[in-house]
Amino acid sequence: MGYADVNGLRLWYEVHGTGRPLVLLHGGYGAAEMFAPVLPAFTARRRVIAVDLQGHGRTGDIDRPLRYESMADDVAALICHLNLAEADVLGYSLGGGVALRTAVQHPGLIHRLVLVSTPCRRRGWYPEVLAAMAAQDERVGEQMRGTPAHERYARVAPRPEDWPRLWAKTGDLLRREYDWSAEVAALTVPTLLVYADADSMPVTHMAEFFGLLGGGHRDAGGDGTDRPASRLAVLPGLTHYDVVASPALPAAVLPFLTHQVRAPQ
């Protein structure tokens, strides 16, 4: 456990287990501990590198906006800092956006990509979720004091007083429009999309995202030879808020990480 100096940022990471490297990227207002319920399942099979993204957890903020693109560069720099030729990357929600941008911007570093509860464009979220995102600012951050997320932040952050600042910068990020559909369609990294069946985005967007990756266009054939390299998993009985802690998550992810799949055509 420790810090890597990358891109002017002291990026916290911690390493657990042995095997092929798997980088875990947490959701908004979270930290590496967000994966604690499922970490033993992953570390039994993989060398897990859990990261605290800019301004989150043990990674202090710097004078730079929160952007998916710059945080993706941080993750790529960490992979290089650790002298890894490549790594699998799993990102949840906000971390999923960072993971996706890492694959887009640094495809040579990513072996396989897992995106959990992540859209490929901002309008993929339900309208009420977008409205809640748009309202996030320092005032809302003050209202969230005393919540489990705040208590974790206050316990580990280098500057606990930055909590409202994190909400303001995250709100600025979440209000920005984006549509990565064209870049997703050009990806060659085998990708697993994982969603809850009661997630914060409609099933139609999940299918749209999967379609951009080559899925859902044809029958796979009796022997599966026409199956796309990417995969889609919709986990039953879960929501956007509990899918990351469910044992169903590693159960869906680990076979994808170890199964041989053909490269996309």
Q: Domain 2-258 class? A: alpha beta
Determine the pLDDT at residue 262.
52
User: Residue type at 48?
Assistant: V
Give, rounded to a whole angstrom, the gap between the first and last alpha carbons of the chain: 39
**Token reading at 245:** 């802690």
Q: pTM for this one?
A: 0.95
- Cα(67)–Cα(61) distance, integer angstroms: 12
Determine the pLDDT at residue 224.
81
Q: What is the mean pLDDT of the chain?
A: 95
In this prediction, the residues of the chain whose per-residue pLDDT falls under 70 are: 260-265
Q: Where are the alpha helices (DSSP H) in the chain?
A: 39-43, 68-81, 94-105, 127-134, 138-143, 148-156, 163-174, 181-185, 203-212, 248-258
Determine the pLDDT at residue 260.
62
Determine the pLDDT at residue 264.
43
Determine the pLDDT at residue 259.
74
